[in-house]
């Protein structure tokens, strides 16, 4: 097993391995509520969200939460999502909006990229 792992590391040195997620906060978004999330950053960073309780596309008819960085198009996901963003003036900011007709409890997180 160790040999296989070593071979994989040698053959694919450019592959990025999963980074540790740092939870920024847990929030409950009411229907149509928007929340701004900002983090200090000096390099490209992944910021994202997940449900506290598992949700499915059956639960979320409108893709649950839309995440939009300022000046960019947003996207909505039913079960969670993230974006890799460059900081502007030392900050990364996104707007998270509940596009459903019921409250959603989500976790907002960050991952620093290598």
| Enclosing domain of residue 100 | 27-112
For the cut 70, the answer to whether the pLDDT of residue 2 exceeds it is no
Structure tokens at 24: 């920024």
pTM, entire model = 0.76
Is 58 within the bounds of a domain? yes
pLDDT at 37: 94
Is 16 within the bounds of a domain? no
CATH classification of the domain holding 99: 2.60.120.380
Structure tokens at 62: 């409108």
Is 89 within the bounds of a domain? yes
pLDDT at 82: 92
DSSP 56-98: -TTT-TT-BEEEE-TTS--EEESSEEEEEE--BTTEEEEEEEE
- Per-residue pLDDT of 50-103, as tens digits, reads 888 765 556 777 788 999 998 888 888 888 889 999 999 999 999 999 999 889
How many independent structural domains does the chain possess?
A: 1
Is 41 within the bounds of a domain? yes
Is 8 within the bounds of a domain? no
Is 9 within the bounds of a domain? no
- Per-residue pLDDT of 10-58, as tens digits, reads 334 444 445 688 999 999 999 999 999 999 999 999 999 988 876 555 6
């Amino acid at each position: 097993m160790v040999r296989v792992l070593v071979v994989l590391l040698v053959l694919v040195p450019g592959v990025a391995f999963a980074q540790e997620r740092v939870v920024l906060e847990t929030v409950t978004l009411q229907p149509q509520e928007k929340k701004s999330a900002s983090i200090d950053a000096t390099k490209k960073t992944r910021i994202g969200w997940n449900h506290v309780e598992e949700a499915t596309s059956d639960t979320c008819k409108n893709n649950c939460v839309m995440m939009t960085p300022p000046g960019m198009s947003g996207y909505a996901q039913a079960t969670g999502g993230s974006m890799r963003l460059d900081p502007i003036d030392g900050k990364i900011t996104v707007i998270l909006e509940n596009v459903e007709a019921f409250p959603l409890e989500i976790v907002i997180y960050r991952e620093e990229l290598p």
